[in-house]
Structure 1
Amino acid sequence: MGKNNVIKMVLAFSLALGSGVMGVGQAQANTAAQYNASTSYSTTTQGYGQWYYGQMTNGQYTDLKYNTTVKRWEGTNGYPWVNGSDMHPGDTSDAARKWVSPGKGTVSLSAVVRKRSGDGDGVVATIRKDSTVLWTRTLLNTADNTPDNLNNIPVEQGTVIYFSINKKDGKNFDQTLWTPTVTFTPASTTPVVDTNSISVTSHGAVANDGKDDLNAFNTAARAAKSQGKTLTIPAGEFILSDVLVIEGIKVVGAGRASTTLVSTNPERGSIDLKGDKVELRNLKHEYKTTVPRGNGAHEKNSITVRSATNFVIDNIHVNRASTAGIMITYGSANGTVSNNLIENTGADGIHMTNSTNAMTVENNVVRAVGDDCIAVVSYKDGADLPVRNITIRGNDVGYYSKARGITVVGGTDVLIENNKIQETQMAGVYISVEGSYNTQDVDRVKVNNNTIRYTGIQQPQNHPNVLVFASQGVIDNVEFNNNMIRDGASRGIGVWGTATIKNITFRQNTLINTNGAATTFTNGIIKLIDNIGF
């Protein structure tokens, strides 16, 4: 080959590196580019084209190993796995495709996702930026799901975008087509005017002046909605004298350690979320004073989700409320409650009721609350459907809360997975149909891979660490799999009540119990499979 031809080939290859579609191992941090998961897929190298192939276990990412026989990256015993176009979760780990930013700038995500089969119980698809959930959806059929509002997301060098698939309940038929594209735009060296947001300060709110900012917040929220922009709240303390309504917009603070909203009316201080695609992120909300719980009026909650759809509550610190910390009600659907700290409430930490559907509650810390930490409750009121399709995953709850840890008191299709539950006055996990509250039946609940320690402290109730109880209606198809149940204050596990309890399965759980009875099974069809300590 002639010398001139060699020079031409080198020049052409150099131009290709900066042409926009990245399929090479060395990314360009100062060049706009698209990174497609399929065209950049590597069978030999983690990190090729900024893409990695791994698994998420209890919120921690690790790389998978490539299997040359089946031509995919996979975990132990073949699951989870990731190939050029598809992903499949495992029993205890999510399948994860990871993209790492080559520099500072913004990214936009195109990420249509679809189950390959309409069979099975569905999967949970989630997109995260580092630990922050950007989008999540439960996929129950083969319809295309197109995440939106994933444009111009700020990133630093090393920022990670995760695309993960969770098995929901069982992993059969969970193969999922997902070939996202990440469009990276490097940061400009010249200052950029943010035209996509409105600050509350531009409409009269003043931080740290001790004066009521509610009118300024309301005016700014109306402007943000009419212009389709994000409402931002800078660092500092802002005063709210009444309920703040946020409808169909994104509200973002400077961080929950930086931005604080203080409600001064203990009877009316809730932040109400309404409409479609409403979001609340990165701030602290607290009441200056509280009053007794009384009738549990929603206006006394910290955050109330009222008939909202496709909503997000992320990285919020709730401190003090007369009733619940986060109340999700009136048929709200397709929501994510993640990475929040909730403490010192008069009622439940996180409460889902009144036909709420398709929720993911994950990576929250709930402590020292006045009732249950995380509760699913379905009342027999009017035409309410049961609370259903709920995933409660990776939460850390208890810390001397005044009732139970995680509860399903009426509800269907609930997954309680990878949570830590400790130091509650009543049972750590409570599955029930209660006559005193006139709740609906319970069906299809799975409690998997949780650690439940030292709960049931209060006497004379003497609840066990795990309690299934029915005083009316029917409980059926409840499974406890691979849980660590230890050091109960009063007892280990109970299945009690005089109403109808059908199939309750305990499979591969470990029970370490020194106080009271290890198990008290007084009702139900109990199936015990490969447990330790029963």
Structure 2
Amino acid sequence: MSKRKFLSGLVVLSLSIGGTLAGGVTSEAAGVTKTYSSSAAFSMSQQGAGQWYYEKLSGTAYLDLVYDKKNNRWAAPSGYPWVSATALHPDQNFDAVRKWVSPGKGTISISGSVKKGSSEGDGVVATIKKDNVKLWSSSITNTTAVTPKGVSAIPVEEGTEISFIVNKLGNANHDHTMWEPDIVYSGSAPAASSSTGKSTKASAAAQIKSSPVVSVLDYGAKANDNVDDYAAFVAAIDAAKTSGKPVYVPAGNYILSDILTIDGVKVQGAGKFLTTITSTNPKRGSIDLKGNGVELSNLKHVYQTTVPRGDGSNEKNSITVRGAKNFKIQDVYVSKSSTAGIMVTYGSTNGTVSGNTLDSTGADGIHMTGGSSHITVENNIVRKAGDDTIAVVSYIDSDVNPVNNITIRKNNVGYGSKARGIAVVGGTDVTISNNSVQDTNMAGVYVAVEASYNTRNVDRITVSNNVINHTGIAQPQNHPNVLVYASQGVVDNVVFTGNIIKNGAHRGIGVWGEGKIKNITFNKNTLINRVGAPTTFTNGTIKLNQNVGF
């Protein structure tokens, strides 16, 4: 007989004698009866001590919490969700979970009431699950204790997981929930060679850990099933942030029901014509990028339906960059949005927006504002934008600094867009080069300070080697292909060099407005096939050098 079988046999033999074992465990024939108290066994150092674990749950993905010495509880790095000896608290995206794992085959009975820790907040949902099967669930909205029902004489196997889950009911504010469950286990003692913990789960976790990427499939997402994958994406992103690996979204269509926040993580699909993320909430469908080194690439984002632009809230964008640093958006297909396609704001810096295709956005295709800086926008295609195709905008009222150090190059934009092509409305140190702009309702290139939006001054703008074709189509605005405009503030140091400006629907080049326009220079530009006057210069100090057609 092997040593492992011999030790196991000794355990069975000792239990068959009967009597009382150490720790208050009683034995009957070949079985044991033991009470597992969640509060008494609460560990401050070890997951699995006394068969208890402390986790967070998103969708079907259970992720371990980390012990927080300061607050004497297990918690996520952000502080929520958390699990203490006597209570649990979820957050907006993750449920709080206290889990017990059966040491052997037998039956269990669960006791212990659950109640809100205070009368504040809109309540929680408390649930008990056996593996993935719900045993009991109830909405808890006040401090009246509720006792779970139907949780006695439950058969279990070795490794069966009993999860005590607290989820937000509406929002996670004031969701402190008192819950100290006890489990009375009657059954076989674990063999000496058996694992006391989540062996199957540990094996799966080991496989995930060995992968170079974090796949959303490993956290419960399923392509093409028309079922919400939001929780799985949240869990995968969280796991990626912990491991330092990128998130991979395989080919297929995935459903998101709310704003997805990607914080300091790289998320990549199989290709912008292979992987599709579909947002079903037209008012809260943005993919939000934040943190350092965040990236989004090789996928398509589409809104199932859209709503009117209205207040232009960022929650309705396709992608919103919220104060990110060293970010990248690459090879993404944006199809429809209620507001902007890609919004870069809140002081985002050192970013690249490249190789993307944007179609039928509700507002600007690519919009940079909020004091953002040092951003390159290149090799993008923007079609049918609901406003400008690519815009730099700086507001006096809300922006501490102007948008600055922006490079806009080699983009192909227009194609029925409803406003301007490439616009700088408040900003400094902007380079616009080697772009193709065509078929826009308003000016193809627009440099301005606008009183109606109370925008900042414009300084040091270089516009070179662009092709601006058949723009300014709409009436009665009758914009020229290229327009410099000021209704307040100062426009200065704007230089146009080597551009081909052709087929203007109404006129070629304009410098207009009642604001202060200083130095505007045109070097070696070519103006051809315009309708109406070649130039309308009504303001500013205009310098003309070796231009053709004006």
Common fold by TM > 0.5: yes
Q: Which amino acid aligns with 1:435?
A: A
How far apart are residue 344 of structure 1 and its match? 0.5
Establish whether residue 311 from structure 1 lines up as the match of residue 333 from structure 2: no
Which residue number corresponds to residue 129 of structure 1?
Answer: none
Does the residue aligned with 1:212 lie in a helix, a strand or coil? coil
Report 1:203-242 matches (<5 A): 203-242=219-258
Which residue number corresponds to residue 279 of structure 2?
Answer: 263
Which residue number corresponds to residue 525 of structure 1?
Answer: 541
Shift in alpha-carbon separation, 1:330–1:453, aligned structure 2, 3 A? same
Which residue number corresponds to residue 320 of structure 1?
Answer: 336
Q: Residue 343 of structure 1 contacts residue 367 of structure 1 at CA under 8 Å; is this kept in 2?
A: yes
Does the residue aligned with 1:277 lie in a helix, a strand or coil? coil
Residue 372 (structure 1) aligned to one of 373, 388, 395: 388
Which residue number corresponds to residue 500 of structure 1?
Answer: 516
How far apart are residue 275 of structure 1 and its match? 0.1
Q: Residue 274 of structure 1 contacts residue 305 of structure 1 at CA under 8 Å; is this kept in 2?
A: yes
Q: Which amino acid aligns with 1:474?
A: V
Which residue number corresponds to residue 342 of structure 1?
Answer: 358
Counterpart CA distance in 2 for 1:383 and 1:346 is 23
How far apart are residue 383 of structure 1 and its match? 5.2
Residue 460 (structure 1) aligned to one of 462, 476, 488: 476
Q: Which amino acid aligns with 1:338?
A: S
Which shifted more, 375-384 or 358-367? 375-384
Residue 296 (structure 1) aligned to one of 302, 312, 315: 312
Report 1:106-505 matches (<5 A): 195-382=211-398, 384-505=400-521
Does the residue aligned with 2:231 lie in a helix, a strand or coil? helix
Counterpart CA distance in 2 for 1:226 and 1:506 is 53
Q: Residue 292 of structure 2 contacts residue 324 of structure 2 at CA under 8 Å; is this kept in 1?
A: yes
Counterpart CA distance in 2 for 1:436 and 1:499 is 12
Does the residue aligned with 2:242 lie in a helix, a strand or coil? helix
When normalised by structure 2's length, the TM-score is 0.62
How far apart are residue 194 of structure 1 and its match? 6.3
Q: Residue 461 of structure 2 contacts residue 493 of structure 2 at CA under 8 Å; is this kept in 1?
A: yes
Does the residue aligned with 2:481 lie in a helix, a strand or coil? strand
How far apart are residue 253 of structure 1 and its match? 0.1
Which residue number corresponds to residue 66 of structure 2?
Answer: none
Counterpart CA distance in 2 for 1:256 and 1:288 is 17
Q: Which amino acid aligns with 2:507?
A: R
Structure of larger gyration radius: 2
Deviations 1:24-55 (A, max 9, x none): xxxxxxxxxxxxxxxxxxxxxxxxxxxxxxxx
How far apart are residue 196 of structure 1 and its match? 2.4
**Which ranges in structure 2 are unaligned for 5 or more consecutive residues?**
1-208
Shift in alpha-carbon separation, 1:368–1:248, aligned structure 2, 3 A? same
Counterpart CA distance in 1 for 2:348 and 2:333 is 21
Shift in alpha-carbon separation, 1:383–1:291, aligned structure 2, 3 A? closer
Which residue number corresponds to residue 24 of structure 1?
Answer: none
How far apart are residue 381 of structure 1 and its match? 1.9
Counterpart CA distance in 1 for 2:534 and 2:393 is 28
Counterpart CA distance in 1 for 2:522 and 2:512 is 15
% identity of equivalent residues: 65
Q: Which amino acid aligns with 2:364?
A: D
Q: Residue 369 of structure 2 contacts residue 403 of structure 2 at CA under 8 Å; is this kept in 1?
A: yes
Q: Which amino acid aligns with 1:451?
A: V
Q: Which amino acid aligns with 1:515?
A: V
Counterpart CA distance in 2 for 1:383 and 1:287 is 29
Deviations 1:143-186 (A, max 9, x none): xxxxxxxxxxxxxxxxxxxxxxxxxxxxxxxxxxxxxxxxxxxx
Q: Residue 370 of structure 2 contacts residue 398 of structure 2 at CA under 8 Å; is this kept in 1?
A: no
Counterpart CA distance in 1 for 2:296 and 2:210 is 19
Counterpart CA distance in 2 for 1:327 and 1:272 is 9
How far apart are residue 429 of structure 1 and its match? 0.1
Q: Which amino acid aligns with 1:308?
A: A
Counterpart CA distance in 2 for 1:443 and 1:330 is 21
How far apart are residue 496 of structure 1 and its match? 0.2
Counterpart CA distance in 2 for 1:384 and 1:393 is 26
Q: Residue 491 of structure 1 contacts residue 513 of structure 1 at CA under 8 Å; is this kept in 2?
A: no
Q: Which amino acid aligns with 2:529?
A: N
Counterpart CA distance in 2 for 1:288 and 1:268 is 12
RMSD value over aligned CA atoms? 1.1
When normalised by structure 1's length, the TM-score is 0.64
Q: Which amino acid aligns with 2:333?
A: H
How far apart are residue 408 of structure 1 and its match? 0.2
